[in-house]
Amino acid sequence: MKLDVDVLRYLSKDDFRVLTAVEMGMRNHEIVPSELIDRIASLKHGGTYKVLKNLLKHKLLHHDSSKYDGFRLTYLGYDFLAIKTMVNRGIFTGVGRQIGVGKESDIFEVVKEDGTVLAMKLHRLGRVSFRAVKSKRDYLKHRSSYNWLYLSRLAALKEFAFMKALEEHGFPVPNAVDCNRHCVVMSLVRGYPLVQVKQLQNPDVVFETILSLVVRMAEHGLIHCDFNEFNIMIDDDEKITMIDFPQMVSVSHRNAKMYFDRDVECIFKFFRKRYNLSFQENEDESDDSEVDSDEECRPQFSEINKVSGFLDKELAASGFTGKDQEDIERFIVEDVEEDSDSDAEGTEDEEYNADSTNESNIKDFDSVCSLKKEEDNTPDCGDRQIEHQAVEKDRHFERDDNPEDESSQAGCDHDSEADEQIEDPELMKRLTKQRQRAIQAARGRKKSSTSRTKYSDKGGRSSYKSKVQKQMSSW
Ligand code: ADP
Ligand code: MG
């Protein structure tokens, strides 16, 4: 997968406006009807069709005309919205190379104005366990906000909140810098995942340190749930940093003991195999055997003095609620439970790679898009100039020299996201009605191709326009 940030430089304000309009529409539409996008974006000189086409070309949107003519964001589109926000907040100015690919994330280096390098994690929930997510759709059916944007955003918010709380309690974790949408920015860990380290100077000490972390976390009321050699970083001085927190659970979780024992077992198993640690007397390891020689030194969940809810305050302060935890547990934690070593099978990453699909997508869009006719008469958007012509390339980092936003506060500010904006129940009702009408119109199929998605809405435009303008004014 490639995150081509060059494209970001060439996107105009109108491009971002339309992209944001799609995001807002996705609050209650899996596929956002074109006419709704047009209305939300309400570009001064029209021209939504052209902008949509441009966004489609860059794979920031996906066109879908199966039920009605509409669009959804791709991962890339969502990435750009988050990156743009981070840049506007002054969190970083450029995106560098990719440094990690997780099961459900991509990690990049990003650079601040002063040259400091940070790590940016983009959550991609559903990439691996998409089938599992699908099978769990029913649970969130009643939620208008269900979709992968929501889940990935939740994963990022949770990771950010837990990382911050753990950091405040002195755990060796990256410094949590900021979070927006599905994106978490944190300090860069100088080191390697333990899985890559063939030899250690002091394997016993490292083993003890790691094991004590599992115990200390449990004492603070938490279990990592994916505590293994992939999520433990180690540097040249054999200093440990834990990463990857979206699947953490409380010690009061119904399966807490199982998760705790599994985390502990992962550590024992790895050190036994990789570093031949002495607690293992028997070369012939029967993994499932309960009567291990290391039984004696194994921390027991029941013997830990656990303080449940200890970190709750910190978590809530970061905006992560019990309800969020409930939602995400159904997707992440249970996946970990069922499928702890899934590979990249069933990847949903095609949007980044399939050029041919994209081309046919654009053609398809040309023939169907209901906005085209109307806009053929509108003046070309002369002010849609490329804003960042002055491309300045540094050897490693491509800078976005457009820090046009005023807000620079850190912290997980998910309130500013577009999909948080439509909170007016009246408006929600109207949007839902509109959608139903659109589906009905599409089912009727008696319209000409230009009005195949008859998506009429009488009134209401101005009421949500003001809300939309508020959001848009930040671009
Ligand atoms: P996932 O949840 O998808 O497993 P991780 O958070 O474990 O993602 O990150 C995947 C990989 O990215 C890690 O194994 C590590 O190599 C790299 N990585 C993640 N966070 C950082 C960081 N803060 N600094 C340096 N590398 C990181
Ligand atoms: Mg990981």
Confidence at residue 279, expressed as pLDDT on a 0 to 100 scale: 67
Q: Which ligand is nearest to the CA of 227?
A: 2
- One-letter amino acid of 316: A
Confidence at residue 332, expressed as pLDDT on a 0 to 100 scale: 67
Annotated catalytic, 284? no
Atom of ligand 1 nearest to the CA of 105: 3
> Which residue would you say has higher pLDDT here, 360 or 303?
303
- pLDDT tier at 384 (50, 70, 90 boundaries)? very low
Average pLDDT over residues 409-426: 42
- pLDDT tier at 465 (50, 70, 90 boundaries)? very low
pLDDT digits (tens, 9 = 90+) for 95-112: 999 999 887 899 999 999
219 CA from centroid of ligand 1 (Å): 25
Average pLDDT over residues 326-350: 53
Q: Taking the model in full, what pTM does it have? A: 0.73
pLDDT digits (tens, 9 = 90+) for 359-379: 555 566 555 555 655 555 544
pLDDT at 449 over 70: no
Q: Which ligand is nearest to the CA of 244?
A: 1
Q: Is 195 in the pocket of ligand 1 (CB under 6 A)?
A: no
Confidence at residue 103, expressed as pLDDT on a 0 to 100 scale: 76
pLDDT digits (tens, 9 = 90+) for 134-179: 444 444 444 433 467 888 999 999 999 999 999 999 999 999 999 9
Confidence at residue 243, expressed as pLDDT on a 0 to 100 scale: 97
Give the Cα separation of 216 and 218 in Å (integer): 5
What's the mean per-residue pLDDT of the chain? Answer: 73
Q: Is 319 in the pocket of ligand 1 (CB under 6 A)?
A: no
Residue 420: name the closest of 18, 28, 123 by CA: 28
Atom 15 of ligand 1, nearest CA residue: 100
233 CA from centroid of ligand 1 (Å): 9
45 CA from centroid of ligand 1 (Å): 44
| Partners of 106 in the β-ladder | 101, 122
pLDDT digits (tens, 9 = 90+) for 391-406: 223 333 333 333 333 3
Q: Is 230 in the pocket of ligand 1 (CB under 6 A)?
A: yes
> For residues 110-149, b (16+ Cβ closer than 10 Å) or e, as one string?
bbeeeeebbbbbbbbbbbbbbebbeebeeebeeeebbbbb
Q: Which ligand is nearest to the CA of 246?
A: 1
Active-site choice (64, 79, 226, 419): 226
Confidence at residue 320, expressed as pLDDT on a 0 to 100 scale: 86
Burial of 239 (0-12, 13-18, 19+ CB in 10 A): middle
Q: Is 247 in the pocket of ligand 1 (CB under 6 A)?
A: no
